[in-house]
Amino acid sequence: RQHLAFISRCRPFSSVGRADVDYFRTFLPTHAILTTLPNDSGSVAPAELDVYNRDWMGKYTGRATTVVKPRSTEEVSKIVRWCNEYDIAIVPQGGNTGLVGGSIPVNDELILSLANMNKVRSFDPVSGILITDAGCILQELTDYIAPHNHIMPIDLGAKGSCQIGGNVATNAGGLRLLRYGSLHGSVLGLEVVLADGTVLDQLTALRKDNTGYDIKQLFIGAEGTLGIVTGVSILTPAAPQASNNVVLALPHFDNVLPLYRKVKRSLSEILSAFEFIDRTAYDLAVKHGQGRGLSDEDVAGAQCFVLVETSGGRREHDEEKLNDLLAELLDAENPLILSGVLSQNPAQFSSLWALREGVTEAISKEGKAYKYDISIPLDKFKVVVDATREHLAERNLIGEHAVKHVMGYGHVGDGNLHLNICAAEYTQEIQDALEPFVYELVASYRGSISAEHGIGAAKTHALHYSKDEVSIELMRKLKALFDPRGILNPKKILE
Ligand code: FAD
Ligand code: 2HG
Ligand code: ZN
């Protein structure tokens, strides 16, 4: 068994060759194969593969020569079976919006893009169960079920590009987790192509199914290392009749937690999001045109901001509750907030959300991002951001040509802070200053070094900060069991 685990970690793989491309051509149309290798049906310039070989942040670069875009589960199965037999490693790729380099080859692995598997298979408006190909884009699924008065249980800033299969593979969290829980709860079934090409059909639409081990859970968050998700059955909630939001400006971070308690108590069942943005993140979002900022007067003296969303059954009832809450917050003897701006129409609703959702994009416009997606106790959010900033300052790494901003934002309701360090360039010096410093800080709070983005290639070396040796060894055994030849997304999650 030890030998098997060893093989799966260290196996050298074959490069994709002309014979492999010729085989793929026997069942894939020309437009479904992009290859730089010379072949009878024409090759593409290497630059045409850049969009597949580079990640969203411009941090990771692969050397894949070939991208295949199968249209069906059967085609995925044929490709994987072939690769397993001929030692070709595969990187499954969805919308390529991942933030940990998981969708980028570490060498010249074959990229298997799910983009052509983009059909909805069925939707039941009574149960709200949606069964869909893995390559459907999240926003398109949202649009598909909207006329049936349902919404997706997951929402995130990358919704216009990320795919539901990618969401499942990363167990993405996002902006609705507070209300609808994680994908471990809302995914009802999966269809997965296993490493030897076998199709695992667990695409059930059952709310309850306690028939032994719940195997599909293993693929949720496995980042394409255990199998390729080709179909997803997911429970979608009924659309709320009314949604409102408000952005609150706070004088100190210390007010965030008392505010969260107060908001939970006052809004109770209609609270659907409680998101945090510190002042630096807010200023960057405004600078780069993400949503319309609050007035100068409203933000004067604010150290941070909170976005509160409500989703409920009756607009008047929800508005009344929110207005009462705002009045109460402002009238108190020691107000927890400086000001609050309540959206008045759908455009303002989206604009307030954009201030929070748009931070990631704003940072990428400003510079290069070092991202730490951590779970820590809520009262440590500011401590961690400040400690990181001080640590960089002590090393003289803060400045226009080094680290421009250190900031925190994230999902307070989920205890998930996004610590972002925005620099002029990616440099080894900054990297060395940040790691293991940040991971040790997180471990000192018994936190998680990856709350929702996964491990990918970026954090394999740091896995031990959040998982003990017993857990890591079990993960290795599972990997060896599901993928004995180690062809699925090598060097991701496990080194
Ligand atoms: P990709 O980036 O293509 O792949 C991600 C990983 O999943 C890779 O390891 C890949 O090999 C694997 N994979 C992809 N598809 C499959 C499949 N069908 N079968 C097996 N493995 C597969 N993440 C959050 O959790 N919460 C957020 O709020 C959030 N906001 C974001 C905002 C922005 C602006 C951006 C750019 C990213 C954000 N992300 C967030 C990260 C990212 O969008 C998510 O991780 C998303 O789920 C990735 O989906 P994707 O289709 O782009 O997958
Ligand atoms: C978010 O919550 C995403 O906005 C992205 O998870 C976080 O950019 C990041 O670090
Ligand atoms: Zn997030």
Residues 26-45: tens digit of each pLDDT: 999 999 999 999 988 889 99
Length reported for the chain:
495
More confident residue, 330 or 115: 115
Domains of the chain: 2-116+478-482 (3.30.43.10), 120-235 (3.30.465.10), 242-359 (3.30.70.2190), 367-453 (3.30.70.2740)
pLDDT tens column, 221-270: 999 999 999 999 999 999 999 999 999 999 999 999 999 999 999 999 99
Judged by DSSP in three states, 355 sits in: helix
Residue 11 pLDDT level (bands cut at 50, 70, 90): low
Answer whether 454's CB lies under 8 Å from 171's CB.
Answer: yes
Q: Which residue ranges have their beta carbon within 6 Å of ligand 1?
A: 56, 91-99, 102-103, 114, 134, 156-158, 162-163, 165-167, 169-170, 172-174, 223-224, 228-229, 360-361, 452-453, 456, 489, 492
Mutate-to-test residue for ligand 1 from 96, 111, 152, 156, highest number of ligand atoms within 8 A of CB:
156
Which residue type, as a one-letter code, is found at position 83?
Answer: C
For residue 173, give the ligand 2 atom closest to its CA.
Answer: 6
Answer whether 218's CB lies under 8 Å from 200's CB.
Answer: no
User: Could you tell me how far CA 441 lies from the centroid of its own chain?
Assistant: 23
Mutate-to-test residue for ligand 2 from 373, 375, 452, highest number of ligand atoms within 8 A of CB:
373
Q: Which of 202, 207, 183 is nearest to 192 (CA)?
A: 202
Q: Is 0.90 exceeded by the ipTM?
A: yes
Q: What's the pTM value of the predicted model, to 2 decimals?
A: 0.96
Q: Among the bound ligands, name the one nearest to the CA of residue 356.
A: 2
d(CA 104, ligand 1 centre) in Å: 12
Question: Percent of the chain, pLDDT > 70?
Answer: 98
d(CA 115, ligand 1 centre) in Å: 13
